Amino acid sequence: MKDPSVHIKRIYVDHKCADLPYTQEIIKRATNIPVEVINDQNLLALYDTPYPENLSAGKKDLLLTTNQGAFYKPCPGTREYQCCDYQVLNIGMNCPMDCVYCILQAYLNNPWLSFFVNVDDLLTELGTKLKAETQSFARIGTGEFTDSLALDRLTGLSKILVPFMADKKNAVLELKTKSAVIDNLEGLEHRGRTIVAWSLNAPKIMKKEEIRTATLEERLNAAKTCASWGYKLAFHFDPIIYHSGWQEGYASTIKQLFDTVPAEKIAWISMGALRYLPALKNIAGTRFPNSNFFYEEFITGLDNKSRYFRSQRVELYKGILAQLQERADKNTCIYFCMESDEIWQEVFGFTPDDKSGLGKMLDNAVSL
């Protein structure tokens, strides 16, 4: 499914922001979707069942509301693992797609999708932060609590954010998605300050565990088109899931990736083996009884998330890295999301600290 926003059945508008021009713009684009202005306190009453049973229904309801808190925050990495100093730009919560392993199921407590329409506040906050931090380089992502592009046909947010970032010398924006909603990116003045990124997986996992997402072919064709519009690209093999035939599966995705997309356009590729909050196993197990990858053996990591045993992670990483290294450009930074120094050393033969830190490695990859 190229555009998961086609599944949205209702739009609710928080009465406090109903008159904003941006809210009205979104409503105008959402032809054929019923719109109701509400007091957002009323929204929970619309669901017959409590969270998370109401999640499947809630993912079809979009609430246009305002963010009263901070938009821009450091990614909550963990001290015990090598983290990449990412900054999160919070544009909304939840996602119209439905991946069995999605960590948001355990983080959130509301079933509906939220999108923050006070985008002027977002831009003011972001602009102020970037002005105050001219000595450092920020990699900023909107895909932490939602998918960066899944709602973009309705919100048109990329048309605001991409030009806003174009003249920022000390930052790049990463738009991370599993959709193929790229139409708004065409013709925007981006000046290399926006990277368009896709999460990829083995074909079996994409097909069975990533519901309402774009197919591999759709994602890679979208990436190829973005490259032709001058955008740098990124790819994330995350979560890497152990399953029968994983070697062949990941190898075939990697082959298709490099057969489709110009390698020199790829700024970075990450790898992260499946890790999850303990609560996720029950939630996902109940919502998706036919998925069984949570029933492998796991250990509890230093961040209290369940992870595969170290030997199994190393086996997965080494297999995938060998495939990536065969075809990746020498300037593409291949890295781990949240792994220990021991794993870095065992798989890559160095740790990020040997290269001035993971943040620096990624900054270099994008400023080339």
User: Residue numbers of the site for ligand SF4 (CB under 6 A)?
Assistant: 95, 97-99, 102, 104, 147, 178
Pairwise CA distance, residues 220 & 260, whole Å: 6
Q: In the complex with ligand SF4, which residue's Cβ is closer, 55 or 257? A: 55
Shortest Cβ 178–ligand SF4 spacing (Å): 4
Shortest Cβ 92–ligand SF4 spacing (Å): 11
Q: In the complex with ligand SF4, which residue's Cβ is closer, 200 or 227? A: 200
Shortest Cβ 150–ligand SF4 spacing (Å): 7
Shortest Cβ 97–ligand SF4 spacing (Å): 4
Shortest Cβ 184–ligand SF4 spacing (Å): 18
Instruction: Identify whether the C-beta of residue 366 lies closer than 8 Å to the C-beta of residue 195.
Output: yes
- For β-strands 171-177 and 92-93, DSSP reports them as unpaired
Helix (H, G, I), strand (E, B) or coil at 276: strand
Distances in whole angstroms, Cα of residue 253 to Cα of each of 219, 245, 257, 315, 333? 11, 13, 6, 18, 18
Pairwise CA distance, residues 37 & 14, whole Å: 6
Q: In the complex with ligand SF4, which residue's Cβ is closer, 176 or 193? A: 176
Q: In the complex with ligand SF4, which residue's Cβ is closer, 219 or 232? A: 219
Q: In the complex with ligand SF4, which residue's Cβ is closer, 58 or 352? A: 58
Half-sphere exposure of 111 (CA within 13 A, CB side): 20
Pairwise CA distance, residues 79 & 353, whole Å: 14
Q: In the complex with ligand SF4, which residue's Cβ is closer, 211 or 263? A: 211
Shortest Cβ 147–ligand SF4 spacing (Å): 5
Which region, left, alpha or beta, applies to residue 304 given φ > 0 means left and ψ of -120 to 50 means alpha?
Answer: left
Tokens of 239: 């979560």
Instruction: Identify whether the C-beta of residue 183 lies closer than 8 Å to the C-beta of residue 204.
Output: no
